[in-house]
Amino acid sequence: MRGTLLANRRGIQRFRQLATTAVKSSKIKLLLFCCIAFTLVVVATRASAFMGWTNHSDSVDQFLPPGKGYAILMNTWKRYDLLKQSISHYASCSGLESIHIVWSEPNPPSASLSTFLKHVIESKTRGLKKVELSFDINKEDSLNNRFKEIPGLKTDAVFSIDDDVIFPCSSVEFAFKVWQSAPNAMVGFVPRAHWVAKTLGKTDYYTYGGWWSVWWTGTYSMVLSKAAFFHKKYLRMYTYEMPKSIKEFVTKNRNCEDIAMSFLVANATGAPPIWVKGKIFEIGSTGISSLGGHGERRTRCVNRFAAEFGRMPLVPTTAKAVDSRNTWFW
């Protein structure tokens, strides 16, 4: 009898152990299932970010009245395939009203190139709106050309962009909305920094900080004009009010026109720029930033411009604009 009870007790204990193990195993499997399901949802909702720059624009932007959108100001130089690719992409952005290509080549744009770009714009807009295309022809090859005043420009907002840089239209539209909240500021995707390297007497000497400086410190004082919004009034100010010595320096050294524009805006506003988080797609080959001594040349520009302005107008900041609709953690 005692043996039978002992055997039953052992059987019950064994059953409990098996049941406990089964419950724990089920919990682990359920947890793994939830993790896999969550991962699939994230991948599905972010598929466009992995696959490229698929455009998705807010429907409200389709009804912007004339003059309330933005103009694209695109700098290019003998990279026609990149130009075609960039224009084809940005033509479908809903807030776009006009495209102005800064042309500084010795020969004018060919009829075939002009016809192709106009056809691309028409096909991308599908007749829903008219996007104007113009080539701003320059006789002199100078980086200052990208900031020449555009007569008759209908929009206040200008999106300055290089021909080898692409952002999804959703990112561009978000940056445009950020700019609308602060139309006197430069609002862009590519931040850079400066800091005091040393002080001799009453004079500060500065160092230019690239992306890794921004990443490490979380601080920036410029957004580069390779991808930035600003008010059209700064084109007029750059053309007519920028010190002649600075423009001559830019032309001679073929560098730092973007830093000069940052100085101009900061000097006028006394405020920092606004960095917008966005996914950048570089479709061209490496540029001048990859050349040896690039940082030293940029540092020279910062110090030269500070001396010309008689002070350091750049204002550091740690703020960043993030579109929370497309971000899980922010």
Q: Which residues are catalytic?
A: 258
Structure tokens at 106: 């010795």
Residues paired with residue 196 on neighbouring β-strands, in sequence order: 206
How far apart (Å, rounded) are the C-alpha atoms in residues 264 and 269?
9
Amino acid at 104: S
> How many C-beta neighbours within 10 Å does residue 36 have?
10
By the 10 Å C-beta count (0-12 exposed, 13-18 middle, 19+ buried), 275 is classed as buried
Distance CA 17, CA 10 (A): 11
What is the C-alpha to C-alpha distance for residues 130 and 121, in angstroms, rounded to an integer? 9
Query: 220 forms bridges with which residues in the sheet?
Result: 317
Report how far residue 323's alpha carbon sits from residue 41's, in angstroms, rounded to the nearest whole number: 19
Alpha helices in the chain (DSSP H): 2-45, 47-51, 80-90, 111-125, 169-181, 211-217, 233-240, 244-253, 257-269, 294-309
Angstrom distance (rounded) from CA 141 to CA 188: 25
Sheet holding 191-200, edge to edge: 203-209, 191-200, 222-223
Q: How many CB atoms neighbour CB 173 within 10 A?
A: 24
What's the one-letter identity of residue 218? Answer: G
Q: Could you tell me if 265 and 309 are in contact, meaning their C-beta atoms sit under 8 angstroms apart?
A: no
